[in-house]
């Protein structure tokens, strides 16, 4: 085993937890290599707070080298797997093509933005799967409010202060909830300037979903709480509604209504990383089929888990586990255990886990949560939600808590860094965690 190399592809929830568990238990008995485009683990559930200027980007970015001792970090984007030759090929940050052999391979490549065949969406919408998109969106929102404050045409002003979020799932609901508070704060700041915001330019947020309620698929009481908070805050919740076409000037809804806007935020869901399709192995709706031990059939040396793997749900026979961080985190632990079992260290275990509930941060002191099936709302739910996030984060807890405390007493910071533009964060990308660079 001391001569063996375990390669983990991807440092999301599943990959990070796999590497962390192996690092702690193997204690250097095997070489553990983690291949990832960036040198950090992104705590994705708090990304909406980054786009709303509440948390700084580094708060939700946990250093891989700093928190994974005895793990070799390789920066690169994996684009090929040779199952027969037991090697992977990747491109490093400087564009060099390289390969890496393995004895055991754990595929945790995650997911990317889900696309729908709607005209104009790929060209005019911004997704929400990586840090570049969140940073771009924060700049974009600040810029639109600033431009609206100086717009002489009332129609232009209203278009720039209208923000349309498509997808009322977990991410879309939080983006709309935090975004409305952010733009209201920006509008108040500009109202104190020499020019000031137009009186009729109150920021308008719309949350659309083809389903009949927000948070479809989650507990109905969670959905009712979220819907109530959103509407009270001023967010227009449109259920049973979607986008028919997107243009530079706005979006056409399937109801026939045209909404002038410069901001279309795409949160309709995710799809497995395109690398899965290139493997030539059986898939289920784009996800790599594995058994209950997270092994790829026919390849005992290959494991897969997280969003990219179709893991049998032993609590609901015939179904597969949902693409959630909760499952990915726990599957990472199981994958690490079963990798060790493949070397004869311990016994392999099937993956089995029932959801312990969900938490949805709605901004301010508002949240919706159902830990262990107990429905909570308001400040109590907010306390549970933030406590859960702090406990789940593998680092930066004090810094995150400090930012929350400062936000409670200080005015929201709103500056445009201008680091990224819309071209840098295309919706149709296999690498939402990496900004596209010109040249």
pLDDT one-digit tens code per residue, 332-381 = 999 999 999 999 999 999 999 888 889 999 999 999 999 988 999 999 99
Cα separation, 160 vs 204, in Å, equals: 9
CATH number of the structural domain 5-37+76-113+271-342: 3.50.50.60
Q: Does the pLDDT at position 43 exceed 90?
A: yes
Q: How many residues does the chain have?
A: 439
At 227, phi and psi to the nearest 5? -60, -45
Q: Does the pLDDT at position 437 exceed 90?
A: no
Query: Is 207:165 a contact under the CB 8 Å cutoff?
Result: yes
Domain at 131-268+357-424: CATH architecture = 3-Layer(bba) Sandwich (3.50)
Q: Does the pLDDT at position 33 exceed 90?
A: yes
Q: Does the pLDDT at position 157 exceed 70?
A: yes
Q: Give pLDDT, residue 198.
A: 67
Q: Give pLDDT, residue 311.
A: 97
Domain segments of the chain: what residues? 5-37+76-113+271-342, 131-268+357-424
pLDDT in tens, 270-320: 999 999 999 999 999 999 999 999 999 999 999 999 999 999 999 999 999
Look at residues 264, 265, 226 and name the one whose alpha carbon lies nearest to residue 247. Answer: 264
pLDDT in tens, 407-425: 999 888 778 888 899 999 9
pTM of the model: 0.94
Q: Does the pLDDT at position 401 exceed 90?
A: yes
Q: Given this chain, do its domains 5-37+76-113+271-342 and 131-268+357-424 carry the same CATH topology?
A: yes
Cα separation, 16 vs 290, in Å, equals: 19
Q: Give pLDDT, residue 190.
A: 85
Give the pLDDT mean for 159-181: 97
Q: Give pLDDT, residue 2.
A: 58
Q: Does the pLDDT at position 439 exceed 80?
A: no
Q: Give pLDDT, residue 202.
A: 85
Per-residue confidence band for 111, with pLDDT thresholds at 50, 70 and 90: very high
Q: Give pLDDT, residue 71.
A: 97
Burial (CB count within 10 angstroms: exposed 0-12, middle 13-18, buried 19+), residue 314? middle
Q: Does the pLDDT at position 1 exceed 70?
A: no
pLDDT in tens, 211-234: 999 999 888 999 999 999 999 999
């Amino acid at each position: 085993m001391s001569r063996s190399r375990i390669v983990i592809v991807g440092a999301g929830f599943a990959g990070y937890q796999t590497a962390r568990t192996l690092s702690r238990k193997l204690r250097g008995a095997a070489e553990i290599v983690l291949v990832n485009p960036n040198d950090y683990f992104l705590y994705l559930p708090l990304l909406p707070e980054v786009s709303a200027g509440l948390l700084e980007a580094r708060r939700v970015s946990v250093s891989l080298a700093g928190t994974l001792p005895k793990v070799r970090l390789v920066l690169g984007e994996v684009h090929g797997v040779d199952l027969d030759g037991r090697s992977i090929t990747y491109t490093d940050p400087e564009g060099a093509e390289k390969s890496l052999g393995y004895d055991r391979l754990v595929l945790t490549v995650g997911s990317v933005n889900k696309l729908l065949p709607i005209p104009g969406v790929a060209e005019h919408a911004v997704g929400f799967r990586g840090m570049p998109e969140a940073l771009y969106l924060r700049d974009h929102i600040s810029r639109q409010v600033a431009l609206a404050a100086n717009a002489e045409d009332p129609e232009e002003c209203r278009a720039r202060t209208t923000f349309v979020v498509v997808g009322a799932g977990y991410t879309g609901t939080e983006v709309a909830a935090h975004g409305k508070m952010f733009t209201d704060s920006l509008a108040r700041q500009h109202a104190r300037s020499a020019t000031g915001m137009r009186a009729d330019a109150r920021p308008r947020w719309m949350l659309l979903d083809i389903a009949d309620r927000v948070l479809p698929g989650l507990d109905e009481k969670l959905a009712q709480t979220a819907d109530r908070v959103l509407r009270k805050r001023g967010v227009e919740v449109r259920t049973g509604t979607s986008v028919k076409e997107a243009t530079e000037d706005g979006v056409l809804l399937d109801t026939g209504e045209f909404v002038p806007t410069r901001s279309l935020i795409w949160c309709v869901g995710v799809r497995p990383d395109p690398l899965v399709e290139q493997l030539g192995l059986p898939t289920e709706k784009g996800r790599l089929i594995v058994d209950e031990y997270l092994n790829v059939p026919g390849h005992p040396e290959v494991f897969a888990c997280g969003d990219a793997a179709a893991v049998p749900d032993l609590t609901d026979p015939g179904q597969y586990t949902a693409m959630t961080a909760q499952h990915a985190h726990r599957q990472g632990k199981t994958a690490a255990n079963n990798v060790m079992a493949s070397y004869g260290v311990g016994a392999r275990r099937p993956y089995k886990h029932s959801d312990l509930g969900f938490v949805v941060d709605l901004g301010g002191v508002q949240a919706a949560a159902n830990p262990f099936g107990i429905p909570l709302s308001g400040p109590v739910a907010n306390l549970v939600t933030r406590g859960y996030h702090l406990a789940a984060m593998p680092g930066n807890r004090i810094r995150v808590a400090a930012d929350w405390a400062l936000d409670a007493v200080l005015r929201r910071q709103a500056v445009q860094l201008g680091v990224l533009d819309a071209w840098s964060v295309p919706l149709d990308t296999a690498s939402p965690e990496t900004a596209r660079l010109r040249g």
